[in-house]
Chain A
Amino acid sequence: MALLSVQHLKKYYATQRAVDDISFDIAPGSIFGLLGPNGAGKSTLLRMITGIFYADSGNILFNGEPFDSGRHIGEIGYMPEERGLYKKMKIGEQAVYLAQLRGLSKSEAEFRSKQWFKRLDMTTWWNKKVEDLSKGMSQKLQFVTTVIHNPKLLILDEPFSGLDPVNANVLKDEIFRLAQEGTTIIFSTHRMEQVEEICDQIILVNQGKKILDGSVKQVKQDFKENLFSLTLSNPDAPLPADIQVLKQEQNKLMFHLNENVPANQVLLHYINQGNNILAFEEILPSLNDIFIRLVQGTPAAREFVA
């Protein structure tokens, strides 16, 4: 059974359809990518899932039950895209306070805060104020306040923005660790390269509508264009039928294979020539390519491509 099931969710504003009939299911323990250009409706969708906004219509099921913010809010951790902390408040107090609002008792909140601070190398910051922290440091604090109550569902909106590679990796490791421990994670971003390595399942949203849904592998298969790369000892040998060479870099050929022609036929052609095959690989489109192709031409696509 899906941990979170979103069914025909709609939210219309006066001027636009922010979320227009979106449905998807998220399996427990999976990392789910919610992708789309800026302004596609991702944040509105997340705000409905976290109970901040009410949907105009449609259902949200949490663990099979209709979502009730009073009951389920303690099971959800949400890190919005725009990070927010009390600037003048001490870091330790802040972590404890936000954990208490999530429903932890004071002693439990303190205990877990200290545990997390230790894990992320933040113990010396406890009595500092947020305004004295660098952006990366406050990002870490933000992450701690999001996961401190051991949520079943963790929602991260652009979690890596503003982080340097070292800290981004620390965070990524934590996300993987939580996923292995059974936390379901929704990962919202417009940075596709991050998604490819992290997510099991993705959906792509554009202008309020879902335009793609599936596993990363499946999506890539669905959008492959029969492109291959082949490295040969003699690249200038006669070509087989059914291929169009797109590019040649020294010994490496990139070509398009006509549909319904098995790749082995091409390999056999060269083997029979006595031409040594040094490398052979199917070129799958990157998610970035797929998404650009899908949202190209729509008004929101411009900033997405850039």
Chain B
Amino acid sequence: MKTLIIIKREYLTRVRKRSFIILTLLIPVLLVGMVALVAGISLSSGDQKKIAVLDESKTFDQKLESSKKISFTFEHTPLETLKQSLAKEQYDAVLYIPPFNKNEKAKFNLFSEKQLGMEAQKDIENQLNDIVMQDRMQEAGVDKDKLRFLQDETISVQPNVEGKATSNEAAFGIGYACGLLLYMFMLFYGMSVMRSVMEEKTNRIAEIIVSSVKPYQLMLGKIIGVALVGLTQFLIWIALIVIAMTVLAGSMGAGFASNPEVMNQAAAQANTGNDVAAGISAMLHSVNWLQISLWFLFYFLGGYFLYASLFAAVGSLVNEDPQESNQLTMPITLPIILGFVIMSSAIKDPNSGLALFGSLFPLTSPIVMMARIPFGVPGWQLALSAVLLVGGFLGTTWMAGKIYRTGILMYGKKITFKEVGKWLMKK
């Protein structure tokens, strides 16, 4: 009953904070913004590099194709004049091709004032090589059509695993996202619990509260309260995503309807992108969302309780020195980071021994198992992992309760791990 009052306070003070509201609203905006930015950068042409070509060998005349990134202009002025044009920024670079023997290795000079970049250089090399190769082929008696036929890629591999409908790409994305989210949640909310415990200890309010309630109730109330904050935040995000999707879909439809030109363009694009879109939607449909959400909830709560109680214990050990807290949190943050590292490898090979170990060991299982679930995990492994996790968090809360009870009232003295061990042994 008193625990309930504590839960309520912990929950309300956090949710009412301005920083909670701002963060909750800002994080999705930042995420969307980041995705948009990355997409924008990779899609946008960047600066088009203007390159002057002085082809004295007459091999490449007008055969170099300009793209979004590079434009080629064939010049016939002497090299020195062209080089001078670099200074006037008329061109970014001058490619000088002297007469050369097609059957031997050759090196051409690319003059520029600034570095042109690896990508542009590779692009130019590829085009030059392709053209030379085609010439050589033709000389060897292979004509263009034959060449195209020879070069055509005809074979692709379709993954088809027995008893598993989820596509690998979707599983990878979802697994990674889930693992990453759990990692961030456990670290972020765990730290939040720790800071709050530290605050109560240094404020000396802890002594007042534990004269009314058992220390264990205070610790548990705090942990549960923060868990509810996390869930609230999560629900708000889901709601925001749903709203954003509907609004976006609605406005896109309206935009197309009011502007036939755009619609035509979109339709044209859709035709070419149809396969991709269908693929994506098939991918999304192949995922068992309900199952993943439920397991996510389980591993979120299990992992969070496991780590939050440890963080609470550490918070109770810290005196006012923040340096001390860094030292003491190390043993806790390490397994979380380890979990993340194992997850990164497990997601590439979900059935490896390391992945199995990581998804059973309670300190890493929330992150690792969650990343594996979209790929499909045998039932016994899920059951074992769940049992171990529940056992693990019962164990850590019990242990943390003991440490917390003593630590929260210890002042002034630096506490060593040896002493903590003694507290654990005491009944």
Contacts and interface: CB of A to CB of B under 8 A. Distances in A.
Interface string A67-81: 001000100101110
Interface string B389-425: 0000000000000000000010100000000000000
Interface stretch (B139-147, B157-165, B201-209, B378-386): B201-209
Interface stretch (B2-10, B281-289, B357-365): B2-10
Interface string B184-228: 000000000000000010011111111111100000000000000
Contact of A84 (B6, B13, B204, B212): B204
Contacts of A76: 211
Contacts, number: 56
A83 B209 CA distance: 12
B205 A86 contact: yes
A104 B204 CA distance: 22
A50 interface: yes
Contacts of B409: 47, 52-53
A206 interface: no
B416 to A, nearest CB: 12
A100 interface: yes
Interface string A124-151: 0000000000000000000001000000
Most A C-beta atoms less than 10 A away, residue of B208, B213, B214, B409: B208
A63 to B, nearest CB: 18
Given A51-B211, A98-B212, A86 B2 contact: no
Nearest to B4: A100
A53 to B, nearest CB: 8
Contacts of B212: 73, 98, 101-103
A84 B411 CA distance: 14
Contacts of A78: 208, 211
A114 B243 CA distance: 44
Nearest to A70: B214
B204 A83 contact: yes
Contact of B207 (A52, A88, A98): A52
B210 A52 contact: yes
A82 B204 contact: yes
Contacts of B205: 84-86
Contacts of B206: 84
A50 B213 CA distance: 11
A98 B5 CA distance: 10
Contact of A82 (B5, B200, B207): B207
Q: How many interface residues does chain A have, given as a range?
A: 20 to 34
A144 to B, nearest CB: 12
B211 A50 contact: yes
B240 to A, nearest CB: 27
A152 to B, nearest CB: 15
B415 to A, nearest CB: 12
Contacts of A228: none
A80 B207 CA distance: 7
A89 interface: yes
Contacts of A86: 203, 205
Most B C-beta atoms less than 10 A away, residue of A47, A83, A84, A145: A84
A97 interface: yes
A87 B199 CA distance: 10
Contact of B203 (A47, A51, A79, A84): A84
A87 B203 contact: yes
A53 B209 CA distance: 13
B208 A84 contact: yes
Contacts of A52: 207, 210-211, 409
Contacts of A100: 2, 5
A102 B213 CA distance: 8
Contacts of B214: 69
Contacts of B6: 101
A43 B321 CA distance: 24
Nearest to B409: A52
Contacts of A80: 204, 207-208, 211
Nearest to B212: A101
Contacts of B2: 100-101, 103
Given A80-B204, A84-B205, A86-B203, A97 B211 contact: no
Contacts of A87: 203
B209 to A, nearest CB: 6
Interface string A14-52: 000000000000000000000000000000000100111
A15 B9 CA distance: 38
18 contacts: A50-B211, A52-B207, A73-B212, A76-B211, A78-B208, A79-B208, A80-B204, A80-B208, A84-B204, A85-B205, A86-B203, A97-B5, A100-B2, A100-B5, A101-B2, A101-B213, A103-B2, A145-B208
Interface of A: 47, 50-53, 69, 73, 76, 78-80, 82-89, 97-98, 100-103, 145
